[in-house]
Amino acid sequence: QISDPEACDQMYESLVKIHTNFYKNKYPRLKDTTFTGVTVEDCRTILATDILKQMEDMKKGTWKRLREKFSAKKPEEDSK
């Protein structure tokens, strides 16, 4: 037995609207963007691991990049 059938029906209708994307269809978005104004494709590009590595490299200073570059070459020269 349900104590309040009207409240149950109202909750059920709300869940059905959520499940069927009622409000998404009723109020379509003009542009497919996030709250920051970035599109979905831009977000995917930014979150790609290659782009993140490139951004980390860009953040490094010149001397740090040079140090890493030359320290990476030393083991190769030792093997020759």
Average pLDDT estimate for 12-38: 86
Helix axes 40-47 and 49-59, enclosed angle (nearest 10): 60
Flag whether 78 is in a domain. Answer: no
So what's the pLDDT on residue 75?
53
Domain count, the chain: 1
Flag whether 77 is in a domain. Answer: no
Average pLDDT estimate for 14-33: 88
Q: What angle do CA 51, 45, 28 make, to 5 degrees?
A: 160
Return the percent helix, strand and coil in the chain, to nearest 5: 70, 0, 25
Spatial separation of the C-alpha atoms in residues 59 and 64, rounded to whole Å: 10
Flag whether 80 is in a domain. Answer: no
pLDDT band at 31 (very low <50, low <70, confident <90, very high): confident
So what's the pLDDT on residue 10?
94
Give residue-wise pLDDT tens across range 46-62.
777 777 777 777 777 77
What pTM did the predictor assign?
A: 0.39
Largest CA distance in the chain: 84
